[in-house]
């Protein structure tokens, strides 16, 4: 059979698709159209202060990407754009899109150097001020936009993670680095009798309060740094999209701290995309692993690698549950060292 060039051509174009969406989001196209029944390219360009013909090129591309609809020469948002691309939507992904546009795209341009050297590209891309997410935490508004995007991303997976294991034997869950509390909220909804809390930086918990209050659920918000501060009392710690940021040594260090804080039989719930045993899939996990190479000290791992890290820190009874969402769920129990 003659090889088909389709996959190669699709990959050549893929970055153009994402950059068209990133640019339209950054310019505010979708937010503008949320308030318009139908707007022309002339009107949109005037309101955005952009070049008229170039704006039309971008708008038509977004139509082809199924983010906009075109009718009688005017444009409107699709349902997907209204749900996921408006800054004030409860399910917005705008914060993560803006982060991708401003930080990930420049760093990914240095992927070849990352592969040669085995290290992230923050310094190469942004200079010595390379603190993770620093740009998006410079102001309260930029931090809120970023966290709203991460909240929307989290809500795509948290309901399935909360349902993946039977957590009824636990009395109190603390989500370490739990951001806006999306996982704690879903666990509380599923287990009303469980006490649930979020432990994150003070600036984050201040924003998280808005999200938690909107649910009407009782979720405790505790300010602190899980690397520097004592961990709150709990018999279940959750960590979502945390371990993939860090090296094996740092993960074992944090797991050891959790082990010391838990009672015997206490649990840790790890929420990450878990790679297949031979690491040939899933595609989303492999792409995220490259992303971790470019951005952090970490990577995505398979079940055996997580089991080894957990075992090194004193955890056993490791059970993986795969979900149909963006994250899988690993539950492990503290083993007594005595």
319: Cα separation from own chain's centroid:
23
d(C-alpha 22, C-alpha 100), whole Å:
8
> For this structure, is 244 an active site residue?
yes
Burial, 338: exposed, middle or buried (Cβ in 10 Å; 0-12, 13-18, 19+)? exposed
Q: Is the peptide bond before 282 cis (omega within 30 degrees of 0)?
A: yes
Cα angle value 191/194/197 (rounded, 5°):
115
Q: Are 297 and 250 in contact (CB under 8 A)?
A: yes
Crossing angle (nearest 10°) for helices 202-215 and 182-190: 40
Greatest alpha-carbon span in the chain? 75
Interacting residues of 169 by C-beta distance below 8 A, sequence separation 6+? none
Q: Which of these is catalytic: 120, 151, 244, 259? A: 244
Catalytic residues: 244
């Amino acid at each position: 059979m003659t090889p088909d060039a389709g996959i190669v051509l699709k990959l050549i174009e893929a970055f153009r698709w994402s950059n068209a969406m990133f640019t339209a989001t950054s310019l505010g196209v979708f937010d503008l159209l949320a308030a318009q029944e139908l707007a022309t390219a002339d009107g949109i360009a005037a309101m955005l202060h952009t070049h008229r013909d170039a704006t039309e090129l971008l708008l038509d591309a977004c139509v082809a990407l199924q983010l906009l609809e075109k009718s009688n020469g005017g444009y409107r948002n699709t349902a997907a754009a209204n749900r996921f691309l408006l800054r004030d939507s409860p399910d917005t992904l705008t914060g993560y899109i803006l982060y991708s546009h401003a930080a990930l795209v420049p760093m990914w341009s240095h992927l070849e150097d990352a592969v040669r050297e085995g290290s992230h590209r923050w310094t190469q891309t942004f200079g010595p001020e390379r603190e993770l997410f620093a740009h998006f935490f410079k102001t309260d508004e930029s931090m809120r936009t970023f966290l709203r995007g991460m909240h929307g991303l989290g809500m795509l997976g948290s309901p399935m993670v909360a349902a993946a294991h039977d957590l009824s034997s636990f009395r109190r869950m603390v989500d370490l680095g739990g951001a806006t509390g999306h996982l704690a909220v879903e666990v509380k909804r599923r287990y009303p009798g469980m006490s649930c809390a979020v432990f994150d930086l003070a600036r984050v918990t201040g924003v998280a309060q808005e999200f938690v209050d909107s649910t009407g659920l009782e979720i405790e918000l505790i300010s602190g740094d899980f690397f520097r501060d004592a961990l709150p009392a709990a018999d279940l710690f959750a960590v979502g999209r945390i371990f993939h940021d860090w090296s094996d040594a740092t993960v074992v260090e944090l797991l050891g701290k959790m082990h010391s804080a838990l009672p015997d039989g206490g649990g840790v719930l790890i929420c990450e995309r878990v790679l297949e045993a031979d690491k040939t899939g899933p595609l989303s996990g492999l792409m995220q692993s490259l992303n971790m190479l470019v951005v952090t000290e970490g990577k995505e791992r398979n079940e055996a690698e997580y089991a080894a890290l957990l075992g090194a820190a004193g955890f056993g009874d490791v059970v993986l549950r795969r979900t149909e969402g963006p994250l899988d769920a690993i539950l492990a129990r503290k083993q007594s060292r005595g």
